[in-house]
């Protein structure tokens, strides 16, 4: 990646400070999901419950809300956390102490290889819309993740769309603010380019639009 692209990626992640993380669950996962994006957090939690595996990598961890609440298929899962921002890694590590997670600072836009791989599942929840670039360039992320999954493993998550969807008033205001500040980079993100990127890298793709959010699960060939 160029230095400018790395700087853009860092700008998107830098908003997550200890102070903003304290209000994240209530504002983003409570208010915004219900009133702006029209995709309740319970729907996103269901995606976790349906797809999370015993050896799991979470990328773009935020506050660790969904990992804290989801049902793992085993009592003692192996949980690995990856993020560009050390603040989110620290907050999520503290919240999930019961699973003794390991952490890695990484930029998902660049190829990576983790010692704990291969994983049964990888989650990218509400990460893609934070990345700079268009859906074509973001699709590189799917290749990076697929390389870390076992055969039959699943990549799942969700992302807020900017094209081909009808944003309401609150959504338009937040989209405009976040895109102008580089917190979001999703003005041109649409469902079909997302589907094409996932389909190029995975054998089977499930994709549903809920409100203005694309909820997905993509399976590697077994
Ligand atoms: C909107 S939060 C999502 C948090 C959580 N997954 C959720 O669903 O609530 C985006 C997260 O992605 C991280 N992030 C942003 N850009 C990244 C990048 N290029 N590589 C890795 N993590 C990144 C941010 O630091 C933040 O933790």
pTM: 0.96
Nearest-angstrom CA–CA distance, 129 and 211:
15
Class of the 3-219 domain?
Answer: alpha beta
Strands (E) across 42-184 are located at: 55-59, 78-83, 102-105, 119-125, 149-160
Distance from Cα 79 to the centre of ligand 1, integer Å: 16
Q: Are the C-beta atoms of 68 and 101 separated by less than 8 Å? A: no
Q: Beta strand 213-219 with 204-210: parallel, antiparallel or unpaired?
A: antiparallel
Distance from Cα 156 to the centre of ligand 1, integer Å: 14
Whether 25 has a pLDDT exceeding 80, the answer reads yes
Nearest-angstrom CA–CA distance, 128 and 31:
20
Residue nearest to atom 11 of ligand 1 (CA): 60
Q: Predicted confidence band at 3 (pLDDT cuts at 50, 70, 90)?
A: low
- Residue carrying structure tokens 């959504």: 171
Q: What is the pLDDT of residues 186-208, one digit of tens each?
A: 999 999 999 999 999 999 999 99
Q: What is the pLDDT of residues 41-88, one digit of tens each?
A: 999 999 999 999 999 999 999 999 999 999 999 999 999 999 999 999
Residue spans of the domains in the chain: they are 3-219
């Amino acid at each position: 990646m160029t230095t400018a692209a790395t700087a853009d990626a860092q700008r998107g992640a830098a908003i997550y400070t200890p102070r903003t993380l304290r209000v994240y669950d209530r504002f983003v996962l409570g208010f915004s999901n219900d009133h702006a994006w029209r995709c309740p957090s319970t729907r996103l939690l269901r995606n976790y419950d349906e797809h999370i595996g015993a050896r799991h990598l979470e990328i773009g961890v935020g506050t660790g809300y969904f990992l804290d609440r989801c049902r793992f298929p085993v009592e003692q899962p192996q949980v690995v956390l990856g993020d560009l921002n050390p603040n989110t890694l620290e907050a999520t590590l503290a919240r999930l102490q019961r699973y003794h997670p390991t952490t890695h600072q990484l930029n998902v836009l660049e190829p990576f290889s983790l010692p704990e791989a291969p994983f049964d599942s990888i989650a990218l929840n509400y990460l893609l819309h934070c990345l700079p670039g268009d859906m074509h360039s973001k699709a590189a992320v799917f290749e990076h993740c697929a390389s870390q999954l076992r055969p039959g493993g699943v990549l799942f998550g969700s992302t807020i769309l900017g094209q081909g969807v009808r944003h309401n008033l609150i959504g338009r205001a937040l989209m405009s603010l976040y895109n102008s500040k580089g917190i979001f980079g999703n003005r041109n993100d649409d469902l079909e380019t997302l589907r094409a990127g996932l389909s190029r890298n995975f054998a089977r793709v499930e994709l549903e639009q809920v409100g203005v959010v694309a909820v997905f699960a993509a399976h590697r060939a077994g």
